[in-house]
Amino acid sequence: MTIPFDVARIREDFPILRQTIRGKPLVYLDSGASAQKPRVVIDAMVNAMETQYANIHRGLHWMSERTTDAYEATRDAVAALMNASDRAEIIFTGNSTGAMNLVAHSYGRGVLKPGQAVVISAMEHHSNIVPWQMLRDSHGIELRVAPITDAGELDMAAFEALLQDGKVGLVSITHMSNVLGTVTPAERIVQIAHAHGAKVMFDGSQAIVHRRIDVQALGCDFYCWTGHKLYGPTGIGVLWGRRELLEEMPPFMGGGDMISSVTYEKSTWAQVPHKFEAGTPAILEGIGLKAAIDYVQSIGYDAMAAHEAALTDHAIARLSAIEGIRIYGRAQDRGGVISFTLDKAHAHDVATLLDRQGIAVRAGHHCAEPLMRRLGLDSTARASFGVYTTLEEIDVLADTLNRVREFFT
Amino acid sequence: MAEAFDDVRDLYQEVILDHGRHPRHAQRLEDFDSTAKGDNPMCGDRVQVWVKFSPDTTIAATGFEARGCAISVASADLMAETVQGRSKADTKAMFEAFREMARTGVCPACDAAMERLAPLSGVHEYPSRVKCATLPWHALIAALDGTKETSSE
């Protein structure tokens, strides 16, 4: 398969890729943890600081108005990116974790009733486990876990069975596993959940990088992701929620910017989305995120997905040929995240040796300890790809892994 | 081909690879006086240490089970050899000296008995791996103190 866009050209957009690590070219295979930033994102943030920076939504001066416009333009860009029908449905958070905590606190305590249940899956990141445990313990919500198959796919029959008693108020499931690469069948999940009266939230932290997200087509109720995995800055994440649900939900955090009026007796809330955005937000990061979205749109999701599919196929073929390797997850629908172990070497030792060759992978439990336990593991190494990843880099990884294995044999 | 990894030989010295592959003390003691678990929540490494004391309260034997990297297994194994016959106070002093060595690469306080730990000094070049080397020691000290669980965090 030929790659439908010019990777060499794209790589020029990312200043960091010119780095050498210990004298070797950087082979960055950890985009699933956080992606590198293109020049346009860096420039957008620097330019805002150098020319127009001020606080937003409050200053009656030119600088504040300019910055407010730039920040709010990001909300429009996000709404367009996700095909939200209403820009007020876009809430900025610190990251996906912030978005999930917002829903767990606000929807969980404000709308769900004690005795109802929340369903997650057996392949969630800790950020989609712990907030629900906290809700369970403080609010009397039952937490149910939908199992996965040995191939690393959601067990749909078991999932549906968990909803049968009608107690489930919310399903919160990953749209793409950060460990197995599995893309979950979002439309079917929504159909099943809605048929049983449950709302659905997707953790799109990985999925947003790999495919076009259309929240209206998915039919879900909440969807969250984080900017830094989409080539944007850290410190800014997105929660999309259906407007009627957001209207019904109480604020999560109180403070400036989220109120309509305040007296010592009583405060009233601002309209959505501002009701959920207390305090000075990540202004510069918001401006950077718009540049990242524009950048991604300029490449196009179809081209990115084709590139990623080619990389993933090549990686699975090359890595599978390594003696003693195990690759975890064989989902039919999967993205460019590959977790593996070598029989002769622990994942941390693998990562250290790869690092010495300039290759950055992640090693550990990937903030998914229950999934690791399900797989019978303590840790894996993980290679994950971005728009700038090349087939040659995957070859370097495979060749080096062969040598790592020899080293520990 | 493996010689291309020459630059990691400071970390993965032959003695470490050997003890990592073939640890001598990697078993649960059937007859023990104290045990404790150590856990590195950031990376998922786990170790459990069992200790048997002599009548004079020095350490008669140490056994361990580790799920972790070559560094943590080798460190646990070399630790078990090093602390044999030592008093609790000696062992704690050794740990302090060892921890300093793992962080800085040098060990002015290390005595001759600690020489077999010297190959682990290479971890100081790898800040994210220092905890791999110290985790078994945290578990051992917890066992000596009668604490059930510890963490290298």
Whether A136 and A250 share a structural domain: yes
Whether A277 and A340 share a structural domain: no
Q: Which of these, A300, A335, A340, A298, lies nearest to A318 by C-alpha position?
A: A340
Whether A244 and A351 share a structural domain: no
- CB spacing of B44 vs A379 below 8 angstroms: yes
A1 has pLDDT over 70: no
User: CB contact, 8 Å: B24 with chain A?
Assistant: no
User: CB contact, 8 Å: B5 with chain A?
Assistant: yes
Strands A362-364 and A20-21: unpaired
Whether A238 and A90 share a structural domain: yes
What is the Cα–Cα distance from B44 to A369, expressed in whole angstroms? 8
Instruction: For residue A353, give the nearest of B5, B44, B45 by CB distance.
Output: B5
Whether A280 and A344 share a structural domain: no
- Shortest distance between the Cα of A22 and any Cα of chain B, in A, equals 10
Catalytic residue flag (residue A220) = no
Average pLDDT for B50-58: 96
B2 has pLDDT over 50: no
User: CB contact, 8 Å: B65 with chain A?
Assistant: no
pLDDT band at B153; cut points 50, 70, 90: low
Instruction: For residue B8, give the nearest of A345, A353, A372 by CB distance.
Output: A353
Do A384 and A336 touch, CB atoms closer than 8 A?
yes
pLDDT band at A304; cut points 50, 70, 90: very high
Whether A170 and A286 share a structural domain: yes
- Across the A:B interface, residue pairs with CB atoms under 8 Å apart total 57
pLDDT tens for residues A179-192? 999 999 999 999 99
**Residue A378 sits in a domain of what CATH number?**
3.90.1150.10
CA angle, A172 then A175 then A181, to 5°: 130
**Could you say which DSSP state residue A17 is in?**
G
| Strand order from edge to edge, sheet including A380-384 | A325-328, A337-342, A380-384, A362-364
Share of chain A above pLDDT 90, in %: 88
Residue A36 domain-assigned (yes or no): no
- Shortest distance between the Cα of B69 and any Cα of chain A, in A, equals 5
Q: What is the 3-state secondary structure (H, E, C) of A61-92?
A: CHHHHHHHHHHHHHHHHHHHHHCCCCHHHEEE
Whether A312 and A280 share a structural domain: no
- CB spacing of A378 vs B126 below 8 angstroms: no
Average pLDDT for A151-173: 97
Average pLDDT for A225-249: 98
- Angle at which helix B70-83 crosses helix A347-356, to 10 degrees, equals 110
A339 has pLDDT over 60: yes
Domains within chain B, CATH numbers bracketed: 14-149 (3.90.1010.10)
Secondary structure element (H or E) that encloses residue A50, with its range: helix A39-51
Instruction: For residue B69, give the nearest of A348, A404, A406 by CB distance.
Output: A348
Residue A81 domain-assigned (yes or no): yes
What is the Cα–Cα distance from A61 to A57, expressed in whole angstroms? 11
What is the Cα–Cα distance from A301 to A310, expressed in whole angstroms? 14
Average pLDDT of the residues of chain A: 95
Residue A320 CB coordination number (10 Å): 12
Average pLDDT for A52-60: 86
- CB spacing of B43 vs A364 below 8 angstroms: yes
Q: Which two tokens stand for residue A239?
A: 């929660």
User: CB contact, 8 Å: B17 with chain A?
Assistant: yes
Q: What torsion do the CA atoms of A69, A70, A76, A77 make, to the nearest 10 degrees?
A: 170
Whether A282 and A329 share a structural domain: no
- Shortest distance between the Cα of B30 and any Cα of chain A, in A, equals 25
Residue A57 domain-assigned (yes or no): yes
- Shortest distance between the Cα of A44 and any Cα of chain B, in A, equals 33
Whether A144 and A276 share a structural domain: yes
| Strand order from edge to edge, sheet including A142-146 | A90-93, A237-241, A222-226, A199-203, A168-174, A117-121, A142-146
> Among the three residues A238, A262, A297, which one is the final residue of a domain in this structure?
A297
Q: Which residues of B are less than 8 Å from A345 in CB distance?
A: 70
- CB spacing of A352 vs B11 below 8 angstroms: yes
Q: Which residues of B are less than 8 Å from A363 in CB distance?
A: 43
Instruction: For residue A407, give the nearest of B5, B45, B67 by CB distance.
Output: B5
What residues are paired with A342 via a beta bridge?
Answer: A325, A345
**Residue A178 sits in a domain of what CATH number?**
3.40.640.10
- Estimate to the nearest angstrom the gap between the alpha carbon of B49 and the chain centroid: 10
CA distances from A293 to A98, A229, A233, B146 (A): 20, 11, 11, 55
> Among the three residues A274, A297, A320, which one is the final residue of a domain in this structure?
A297
Residue A376 domain-assigned (yes or no): yes
What is the Cα–Cα distance from A377 to A119, expressed in whole angstroms? 24
Residue A237 domain-assigned (yes or no): yes
pLDDT for residue A92: 98
Mutate to test the interface with A, among B1, B3, B5, B14 (most CBs of A within 10 A): B5
pLDDT band at B1; cut points 50, 70, 90: very low
Residue A2 domain-assigned (yes or no): no
Which residue of chain B is at minimal alpha-carbon distance from A367? B42
pLDDT for residue A57: 85
- CB spacing of B43 vs A369 below 8 angstroms: no
Average pLDDT for A267-289: 95
pLDDT band at A124; cut points 50, 70, 90: very high
Mutate to test the interface with B, among A350, A367, A369, A407 (most CBs of B within 10 A): A407
Within A253-366, residue ranges assigned H as helices are 283-299, 301-320, 347-356
pLDDT band at B152; cut points 50, 70, 90: low
How many domains, in total, are found in chain A?
2
> Among the three residues A253, A271, A297, which one is the final residue of a domain in this structure?
A297
CA distances from A112 to A68, A71, A184 (A): 35, 32, 25
DSSP B67-85: ES-HHHHHHHHHHHHHHTT
Whether A144 and A287 share a structural domain: yes
Residues for chain A: how many in total? 409
Residue A350 domain-assigned (yes or no): yes
pLDDT band at A240; cut points 50, 70, 90: very high
Residue A102 CB coordination number (10 Å): 26
Q: Which residues of B are less than 8 Å from A402 in CB distance?
A: 1
Encode burial over A33-48: b for 16+ CB neighbours within 10 A, e otherwise: bebbbbebbbebbeeb
Q: Which of these, A381, A361, A366, lies nearest to A205 by C-alpha position?
A: A366
Average pLDDT for A94-122: 97
B7 or B95: which leads in pLDDT: B95
- Shortest distance between the Cα of A349 and any Cα of chain B, in A, equals 6
User: CB contact, 8 Å: B89 with chain A?
Assistant: no
pLDDT for residue B4: 61
pLDDT band at B112; cut points 50, 70, 90: confident
Instruction: For residue A349, give the nearest of B7, B42, B69 by CB distance.
Output: B69
Catalytic residue among A44, A367, A383, A394: A367
Whether A257 and A270 share a structural domain: yes
The residue segments making up the domain with residue A284 are 42-297
Whether A291 and A231 share a structural domain: yes
Average pLDDT for A341-349: 93
Instruction: For residue A356, give the nearest of B8, B45, B68 by CB distance.
Output: B8
Q: Which residues of A are less than 8 Å from B68 in CB distance?
A: 346, 348, 378
